[in-house]
Structure 1
């Protein structure tokens, strides 16, 4: 998800208490895939709203990542157990925002269905709201009405208001809680003083609509100090990795979101990993930017001007890797050439009618999967640093109806907007975000591993 404006970040020492982990042990969050996916029109609508803003290693934290397809969303979920005793929450894994937040309720006698939809504050003995004068409170955006502390109240709580590009808002109290996590050795550890937003007011399509069904909040993985990856990275290594598994596979496979690791090691032997620099945009410091150098279709390099891909001095352009956007969006000049090249080289008949919102659809009726994939042009992205990303055609030609596949690469029309590599294009790759070295590693070899 893309936040509306950058948040001024102040240095904060976050104290996390946990049991000692054995050498080579790391904490795990499952990243699981569910089917069926949402309809293409739902995914497209969700993405357009979002774009309108715009080995052996030390302990690390990992968790399964769950596709939200079965509940009508193109997002991927991470299950986080929060509170004392722990309450299970499904949170959207989002590299495009910073705040960890959950929908909260102050009820005491709650129905079973209500319990599954909210974090129940009064049921946790470890919930602590930050004071409005605290250093922690300075890390989150506030509404104009809540910026001034009430001097007559010794315990004025920190109120936050976090906005997304489509006008969606999560607002409530900025607090700390205990998180319960499982390690790779099937041990349970407690992580205390994890900062998060307790959202008592949640409104807008990004956080309440069809794209959010099945989730109780967002696990921000961005570059800001309040993100999940930043808070845990201070203690386990300032990197994280994940795989987004192919949603067409059945039974649905499991992969993991891993936080931390040895700064000198990668999740795979380096021979299997390609690296490209992560760029910083001071105007939008949350996002993970990479630099596309060239793009090819069917082995032919397209004559896209380098200026189309560049991130300029005022923060325009560039390319964002975003787990919270489903489709892939390219700057208009690049998209026009990709679309023309795909039309020229695809060896399948076009459909009589396009799926709404898509530019190129082909008829695959009666054809096996291998035959379809062989008839679709190969896409190649050459990135800064010499890395080459060659996603399989199923990552960018997706089923939109029975016997129909459409090109899931669309145009960004707004002047100066960034291109976005969405989660469909990322499927089947292991991605490692190494923030200390400011680089992104990726490989097609790692997703089958039980990391």
Structure 2
């Protein structure tokens, strides 16, 4: 969700027990011997046509919720810009022979699902964009009594027919804004193409074959170009969890500055991550503990202790960052949201301090949806803007460059790309624009988030 895209995506709070599944991959030993990791490109497509359109989309999403190196899978992340989406896509191939599909990479949900050819209400997508199970010799739906079926957060009531020998496992996966995908929970062989052009075949990926898809999150403009979702959340059915045991129970990604020309490649890695960096780069890694919210087990929570602007600590009560007994509050790191959202009292302090310290004149008009916009048209070089630093749990300091939180909404106009969480029960969100240029590692084994600007490439 970079630049003008504030693409909302799947802030889901499923309640289900954790169960670590793994893929039976006969090629895994060969993969480990050949390389420490497999790197998959993340593809990013152009954002929305206007900042106000993208902001309303993002706000809609948020307002409705409140020893030895392990082998690594490394995949390119594809920009969604060319189709009007602000999402990052992963290109995977499903089935035997493989069928190519673009899936949204989303740390805010768990289920991996694709639109299947039997979809009954998918007129908004051409039939050729669907996955065809009948064309795959390795497709197999789970039986409704299969233990994998119980891993789903919820399923249609009485979906298991005790009298039928081949009663499939049905899934119904809903999102905060009422969007849903439903169909058969199945398993399939997956082919991943690496940055080097090599291929890895993984057997037994659990995924949803969607026959009914509805709602803005899965059929609106922000979903344009996608054929499904690669859930990367903390739950047992996510893509990262299914590969977790074999690949070190961690994944990482690097979201590069899409405004550069030509745009550099972003990537997703399942496995080794930061430990595969050269020693001189590895020394620059910072870690902060991942928090667990039992009422929202999907999300990756971190702790913000304080915020400073130009070295001055803001007077924000630390209690505003805490998760309460009802599961409200806290701060989530999310690849599916573009802007950063802070709890209202914290946002007001940030806005007040930035407004007081910014040296540029105000823009003639505010870009709709933003509270602070400045006129940078007279600046021949990069404008001087206030420096923001987050002090996190464990003593780590996250200090993004100004371009990660000031967005050029039109030529010569830059706006503060941080918003307030309007809901009193909502959580703060570190969006993907704030994450640009950092290599982030989600280490579930050690329950920590690592980040560095080394080894990713500076934006």
Q: After TM superposition, is the score higher than 0.5?
A: yes
User: Against the structure 1 CA distance between its residues 266 and 307, is the aligned structure 2 distance closer, same or farther, given a 3 Å change threshold?
Assistant: farther
Q: How many residues are matched?
A: 439
Equivalent of residue 456 in structure 2, options 438, 447, 450: 447
Q: CA deviation at 1:205?
A: 0.6
Aligned equivalent of 2:4: none
- Stretch moving more, 52-61 or 130-139: 52-61
1:134 aligns to what? Answer: 146
Contact 1:32 / 1:252 at 8 angstroms: preserved in 2? Answer: no
Residues 3 and 163, structure 1, Cα contact 8 Å, conserved in 2: no
Matching of residue 408 in structure 1 with residue 417 in structure 2: yes
2:275 aligned to 237, 261, 265, which one? 265
Q: Does 2:310 align with 1:298? A: yes
How far, CA to CA, are the matches of 2:356 and 2:67 in structure 1? 44
- Provide the rounded CA distance (Å) in 2 between the counterparts of 1:224 and 1:233: 11
Q: Would the alpha carbon gap of residues 321 and 4 (structure 1) be closer, same or farther in structure 2, given more than 3 Å must change?
A: closer
Query: What's the counterpart of residue 221 of structure 1?
Result: 232
Q: Is 2:192 the partner of 1:181?
A: yes
Matched, 1:7 2:15: yes
In the alignment, structure 1 residue 191 sits paired with structure 2 residue 202: yes
Give the aligned partner of residue 162 of structure 1. 173
Q: In structure 2, the residue corresponding to 1:316 is in which secondary structure?
A: coil
Q: 1:186 to 1:148 in 2, by over 3 A?
A: closer
The answer on whether the counterparts of 1:25 and 1:185 sit within 8 Å (CA) in structure 2 is no
Report the 3-state secondary structure (helix = DSSP H, G, I; strand = E; otherwise coil) of the residue aligned with 1:391.
coil
CA distance in 2, matches of 1:18, 1:53: 41
Q: What residue ranges of structure 2 are gaps of 5+ in the alignment?
A: 1-8, 120-124
Q: Please list the CA deviations of residues 150-192 of structure 1 after superposition, one character each: whole Å capped at 9, or x if unmatched.
A: 1221111111111111111111111001001235765322101
Asked if 1:382 is matched to 2:391, the reply is yes
* Contact preservation (8 Å) 1:42, 1:211: no
Match of 1:118 in 2: 130
Q: 2:376 aligns with which of 364, 381, 396?
A: 364
**Contact residue 44 and residue 87 of structure 2 kept, 8 A:** no
The 5 A counterparts of 1:63-78 are 63-78=75-90
Q: What secondary structure sits across from 1:339 in the alignment?
A: helix
Is the 2:41–2:266 Cα contact (8 Å) retained in structure 1? Answer: yes
Alignment correspondent of 1:100: 112
Q: Secondary structure at the match of 1:245?
A: coil
Is 1:17–2:29 an aligned residue pair? no
Contact 2:10/2:217 (8 A) holds in 1: no
**Contact 2:255/2:266 (<8 A) preserved:** yes
Cα distance, 1:55 vs. partner? Answer: 12
In 1, Cα distance between equivalents of 2:337 and 2:350: 20
Q: CA-to-partner distance for each residue in 1:7-61, whole Å, 9 max, x for gaps?
A: 3125364442231221533222111344466532232122112212249723111
Query: Secondary structure of 1:66's partner?
Result: strand
TM-score, normalised to structure 1, is 0.92
The alignment partner of 1:233 has SS state of coil
Are the counterparts in 1 of residues 179 and 214 from structure 2 also a CA contact under 8 Å?
A: yes
Please tell me whether residue 398 in structure 1 is matched to residue 410 in structure 2: no
Partner of 2:445: 436
Kept in 1, the 8 Å contact 2:10–2:106? The answer is no
Q: For residues 292 and 71 of structure 1, what CA distance do their matches in structure 2 show?
A: 35
Separation of aligned partners in 2, 1:328 and 1:12: 31
Please tell me whether the aligned partners of residues 38 and 69 of structure 1 are also in contact (alpha carbons under 8 angstroms).
no
In structure 2, the residue matched to 1:110 is none
The answer (yes or no) to whether the contact 1:23–1:58 under 8 Å persists in 2 is: no
Give me the whole-angstrom Cα distance separating, in 1, the residues matched to 2:255 and 2:18: 32
Residue 89 of structure 1 deviates from its aligned partner by 0.8
Quote the residue 2:301 is aligned against: 289
> What is the CA distance between 1:261 and its match in structure 2?
2.3
CA distance in 2, matches of 1:106, 1:79: 21
User: What are structure 1's unaligned runs of at least 5 residues?
Assistant: 108-112
CA RMSD of aligned residues (A): 2.1
Distance change (3 Å), C-alpha of 1:271 and 1:25: closer
1:448 offset after TM fit, Å?
2.5
Q: CA contact under 8 A between 1:12 and 1:136: conserved in structure 2?
A: no
